[in-house]
Amino acid sequence: MQSFRTEIENPVVEKDIIELANKIELFQKGKIDEEKFRSLRLARGVYGQRQKGVQMIRIKLPYGKVLSNQLRRISDVSDEYSRGRLHITTRQDIQIHHVSLDRTPQLWAELEKDDVTLREACGNTVRNVTASETAGIDINEPFDVSPYADAVFRFFLRNPICQEMGRKFKVSFSVSEEDTALSYMNDFGLIAKIENGVKGFKVMLAGGLGSQPRHAEELYNFLPANKIIPTIEGVLRVFDRYGERKSRAKARMKFLLKDIGIEAFKKLVADEQKAIEFKTVEIDAAAYVASTPVVVNTIPKVSITNQEAFNLWKSTNVIPQKQEGYVAIGIKVFLGDFYTDKARVLANLVAQYAAGEIRLSLRQNILIPFVKTELLPFFYQELEKLGFVDPGYNKAIDITACPGTDTCNLGISSSTGIAAELERIIKTEYPQCLKNEDLVIKISGCMNACGQHNLANIGFQGMSIRTPDKLVAPALQVLLGGGNRGDGKGVFADKVVKVPSRRGPEALRRVLNDYEDHANGVLFVDYYASKGEKYFYNLLKDLSDTSNLTQEDYIDWGANETYVKAIGVGECAGVIIDLIATLFLESEEKIEHAEKALRNNTFPHAIYHAYKAILNSAKAILLSNNIATNTEAGIVKQFDELFINTQKIKLGKPFSEFIYQIKAQAPTREFAEHYIENSKQFLQVVKAYRNKEMENNTVNNS
């Protein structure tokens, strides 16, 4: 094993990084299965890239808040380990690309020096906790959600109940009923409310995008703030136990809720409360360290040369704050990409003249809070030097797009190339849209919806299309009519027509022209609803004709060569192919984790590690008998039917009763000690059974 060491003071973080370095070495020596290693690295923010031999690194930035020192650190890391480009995602993370796998542990160690983590940025975990970028400054917010988003992030980071779920789990916090964090498309969406003087949240459950978007259902109209962490823990325990695991396409929370219904799900969450240590978790919002504006005694003198451009920028990119005398400045970041030289200048600027922080938005932009109103001309001048004063922040011209075929394994056609062309068209042909907040345009390179095309008024999804003569050309699915209604209500866009990618701009022109000619000021989502899908299909259907393609139609946007459809293995779900021996080794590791947690007096963690060890051991025996294991609850049921009821393995009680002690007992030291001992004994029982199986097979085959 390599002697990799870090200078990290936090022993938990250092252990994480050293473990990643050791696992990389074992993988490269062929001692860890590739799929198993994939699961481990994904949970540490290391994601396979379309280009062979390099990785995408996702940096987890809770609720999009980035301090100046953190932005400088991220920039240094990107320069040293990557290519100096930073990509803002639609979940308020930053990604850097083209990183060597060998260098990821050291990269992580460098980031942690400024409290920046990769942990659980990818994989089957609780992903980055998102929030409205205006949290703490929004004139409509009943209270600042930042302390609550921060508490949820910290509570579930490295928490054993959410390390190996069937799929990812997404949490969002909206500051008001405007629902700018899009609760309706998250697994667990919260909207800030106050009832009878009590701070709390409306809770939306099991929304999701992808090829089968599903609107979240209301779990609670009002949940007091001190109940959100126990409730999320209960939801995660239920999802972990009953969620699909074999079929990635069915493994999201939205499918589980659809199968069992909201009332049955509520009961399961309530049943889990016995196993949860804290029935309420008080979040001390007053103790949360919020950024505060620096004192600026001297306002730099500035001469604005283009007053018209300055006024347009102010009208589209400056946002009033609830704090008197301050505004926030929106920076429109084209496709979410910016570079480290500009990032450092920006970090220094906000440290000296604002509050020493920036916010990353769900639309891949940057927000600078706490700018004194008198400093607006100065900020405009400084941001203009960086090319950061394009008007249209969060307006129609502000197109959201995922990286698509640039770097993603799943990209089918270019999302960045078509986004650049559509933005050019809006700038030059529809300048009136610069101030239009209604028209939301989003683009994804595949059905996974990282560009959130399902939510858009006008959306495009990367596809391919086969012509009558069997040639393949890049294509776009045109989606229309999506929109955010507020208060947890939203509309998903309809798939209207599929067109060759080169005809995407013409499709946009027709939709915009029709809207301007006939809508009479009605919001696009309402105008689309009044006209209906068939109306727009008829408007665009001739563009779908593939019998008359030109040579240009076979070349994707941003490319020079003829299109070739090439889809790699997606890693969004961290699919795992388990080996029997690996599962037994994992059971032993989980028991070690349980014993360590017991020594540290974290009894709920100790119990959950032991539960996972028991479950892993049972799964190993089922798989050794070629029995599929779709859900954790299914493992328990199948083990009882096939091994306990038949007396092949004797426990003295049903396996369900044995393992589900976790649901019936409070998380005390006594129960933790008892349950860990149970997990050890069970591992020995199933190992002995497995050894006997192998001996019998050897005899029968000799």
Q: How many helices (H) and strands (E) does the chain have?
A: 21, 22
Query: Quick check: is 565 in a domain?
Result: no
The pLDDT > 70 percentage for the chain reads 94
Q: What confidence tens digit (pLDDT) does each residue in 11-29 have?
A: 889 888 998 998 888 888 8
- CATH code of 362's domain: 3.30.70.3340
Q: Are residues 415 and 329 part of one domain?
A: no
Q: Are residues 585 and 477 part of one domain?
A: no
Q: Are residues 688 and 635 part of one domain?
A: yes
Its domain, for residue 694, covers: 580-701
Q: Are residues 547 and 593 part of one domain?
A: no
Query: Quick check: is 293 in a domain?
Result: no
pLDDT at position 565, please? 61
Q: Are residues 443 and 378 part of one domain?
A: no
DSSP line for 315-350: HHHEEE-SSTTEEEEEE--GGGEEEHHHHHHHHHHH
Reported as a pLDDT band with limits 50, 70 and 90, residue 700 is low
Q: Which secondary-structure segment (H or E) carries 580?
A: helix 580-599
Q: Which residues contact 324 (CB under 8 A, 6 or more apart)?
A: none
pLDDT at position 573, please? 38
Among the listed residues 39, 86, 196, the one whose alpha carbon sits nearest the alpha carbon of residue 576 = 39
Q: Are residues 545 and 439 part of one domain?
A: yes
Give me the count of residues in the chain. Answer: 702
- How many domains would you assign to the chain? 5
Q: Is the pLDDT of residue 575 over 60?
A: no
Cα gap 294→283, rounded to integer Å: 27
| Residue that terminates a domain, selected from 355, 385, 415 | 385
- Residue 144 vs residues 173, 223, 232, 345, 619: alpha-carbon distances, Å: 10, 16, 20, 28, 44
Q: What confidence tens digit (pLDDT) does each residue in 67-81 have?
A: 999 999 999 999 999
Reported as a pLDDT band with limits 50, 70 and 90, residue 503 is very high
Cα gap 71→528, rounded to integer Å: 41
Distance of CA 605 to the CA centre of its chain: 24
Q: Taking the CA atoms of 341, 342, 344 and 348 in sequence, report the sign of the dihedral they define.
A: positive
- CATH code of 466's domain: 3.30.413.10
Token code pair at residue 28:
């490269």
Query: Quick check: is 451 in a domain?
Result: yes
Query: Quick check: is 259 in a domain?
Result: yes
| Residue that terminates a domain, selected from 257, 287, 317 | 287
Q: Which secondary-structure segment (H or E) carries 502?
A: none
pLDDT at position 328, please? 98
Q: Identify whether the C-beta of residue 318 lies closer than 8 Å to the C-beta of residue 328.
A: yes
pLDDT at position 137, please? 97
Q: Are residues 439 and 543 part of one domain?
A: yes
Task: Enumerate the β-bridge partners of residue 339.
Answer: 85
Query: Quick check: is 127 in a domain?
Result: no
Query: Quick check: is 297 in a domain?
Result: no
Region 529-554 average pLDDT: 92
- CATH code of 693's domain: 1.20.120.330
Q: Are residues 536 and 592 part of one domain?
A: no
> Tokens 């649901």 sit at which residue?
663
- Residue 63 vs residues 150, 213, 261, 454: alpha-carbon distances, Å: 8, 23, 30, 22
Query: Quick check: is 125 in a domain?
Result: no
Q: Is the pLDDT of residue 624 over 90?
A: no
pLDDT at position 405, please? 65
Q: Is the pLDDT of residue 451 over 90?
A: no
Q: How many CA atoms lie less than 13 Å away from 20 in the CB half-sphere?
A: 28
Q: Is the pLDDT of residue 572 over 70?
A: no
Q: Are residues 339 and 259 part of one domain?
A: no
Q: What confidence tens digit (pLDDT) does each residue in 244-289 have?
A: 887 777 889 999 999 999 999 999 999 998 899 889 999 999 999 9
Q: Are residues 685 and 545 part of one domain?
A: no
DSSP state of 673: H
Say how many Å lie between the first and final Cα of the chain, rounded. 38
Cα gap 64→359, rounded to integer Å: 5
pTM above 0.75, yes or no: yes
- Residue 76 vs residues 97, 98, 349: alpha-carbon distances, Å: 14, 15, 17
Q: Taking the CA atoms of 152, 157, 162 and 166 in sequence, report the sign of the dihedral they define.
A: positive
Q: Which residues contact 646 (CB under 8 A, 6 or more apart)?
A: none
Token code pair at residue 370:
């706490």
pLDDT greater at residue 410 or residue 270:
270
Q: Which residues contact 568 (CB under 8 A, 6 or more apart)?
A: 48, 50, 409, 410
Token code pair at residue 91:
């979940």
Mean pLDDT over the full length of the chain: 89
Query: Quick check: is 6 in a domain?
Result: no
Reported as a pLDDT band with limits 50, 70 and 90, residue 181 is very high
DSSP line for 359-389: EE-TTS-EEEEEEEGGGHHHHHHHHHHTT--
Token code pair at residue 318:
């400056």
pLDDT at position 569, please? 45
Q: Is the pLDDT of residue 83 over 80?
A: yes
Reported as a pLDDT band with limits 50, 70 and 90, residue 504 is very high
The pLDDT > 90 percentage for the chain reads 67
Q: Are residues 539 and 472 part of one domain?
A: yes
Q: Is the pLDDT of residue 2 over 60?
A: no
DSSP line for 511-532: HHHHHHHH-TT--HHHHHHHH-
pLDDT at position 566, please? 54
pLDDT at position 576, please? 33
DSSP-H helix ranges across 640-668: 655-659, 661-664
Token code pair at residue 220:
């609670």
Q: Are residues 381 and 354 part of one domain?
A: yes
Q: Identify whether the C-beta of residue 180 lies closer than 8 Å to the C-beta of residue 216.
A: no
DSSP line for 154-208: HHHTT-GGGSS-SS-B-EEEESSTT-TT-GGGSSEEEEEEEETTEEEEEEEE--B
| Residue that terminates a domain, selected from 65, 96, 112 | 112
Region 383-390 average pLDDT: 95
Among the listed residues 574, 577, 594, the one whose alpha carbon sits nearest the alpha carbon of residue 673 = 594
Cα gap 128→208, rounded to integer Å: 15
pLDDT at position 557, please? 79
Region 436-453 average pLDDT: 82
